[in-house]
């Protein structure tokens, strides 16, 4: 696993409520070769994580973000970036090139559009996937 994937595993996946209560979870991954390694499987298996691979060509039909969130989120994020390019305070290198935006600025660009995504958009995305979710009383 890459450093970023390891960080995500520890900071996000292992902090979920279901981990505390030792409940099984399903993690759906696309078919990227990095996701199929023993390293990845060994990292998630001890936490009760069941892994499912989405076949090539199907992520756009099965991944909630691809179905319902990404387009509007990315367009809102782009507006933040474009506004910074036009009106933001910018610094330049000695050779006159534009320096990157600060990490704080970029984090703000990401968090504001994400906060604007309604929960209903995500819920609708799950319904459009046609993935059947079962509660604890069903098998």
DSSP for 13-50 reads GGGSHHHHTT--EEEEEE--GGGGSHHHHHHHGGGTEE
Taken in order 12, 130, 60, 83, the sign of the CA dihedral is: negative
Model pLDDT, residue 11: 86
d(CA 113, CA 122): 14
Closest C-alpha to 1, from 61, 45, 43, 29: 43
Domain limits for position 109: 61-129
Residues 45 and 68 in one domain: no
d(CA 70, CA 34): 23
For the cut 50, the answer to whether the pLDDT of residue 37 exceeds it is yes
> Which of the listed ranges 25-29, 32-36, 103-107 does the model predict with the highest average pLDDT?
103-107
Residues 65 and 46 in one domain: no
Q: Identify the burial level of 119 via C-beta atoms within 10 angstroms of its C-beta, where 0-12 means exposed, 13-18 middle and 19 or more buried.
A: exposed
d(CA 10, CA 62): 25
Residues 49 and 70 in one domain: no
Mean pLDDT rounded to a whole number for the chain = 82
Range 74-79 average pLDDT: 92
Residues 23 and 51 in one domain: yes
Examine residue 139 and state whether it is found in any structural domain, yes or no: no
Examine residue 111 and state whether it is found in any structural domain, yes or no: yes
CB 68 within 8 A of CB 122: yes
Based on the structure, what is the number of domains in the chain? Answer: 2
Question: Which tokens belong to 1?
Answer: 């696993």
Name which of 58-62, 65-69, 78-82 the model is least confident about: 58-62
């Amino acid at each position: 696993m890459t450093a970023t994937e390891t960080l995500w595993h520890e900071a996000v996946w292992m902090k979920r409520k279901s981990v505390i209560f030792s409940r099984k979870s399903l993690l759906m991954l696309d078919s990227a070769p990095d996701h199929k390694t023993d390293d990845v499987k060994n990292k998630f298996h001890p936490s009760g994580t069941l892994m499912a691979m989405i076949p090539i060509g199907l992520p756009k039909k099965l991944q909630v973000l691809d179905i319902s969130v990404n387009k509007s989120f990315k367009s809102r994020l782009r507006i933040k970036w474009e506004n910074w390019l036009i009106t933001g305070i910018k610094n330049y290198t000695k050779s006159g090139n534009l320096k990157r935006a600060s990490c704080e600025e970029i984090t703000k660009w990401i968090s504001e559009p994400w906060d604007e995504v309604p929960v209903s958009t995500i819920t609708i995305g799950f319904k459009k996937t046609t993935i059947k979710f079962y509660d604890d009383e069903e098998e």
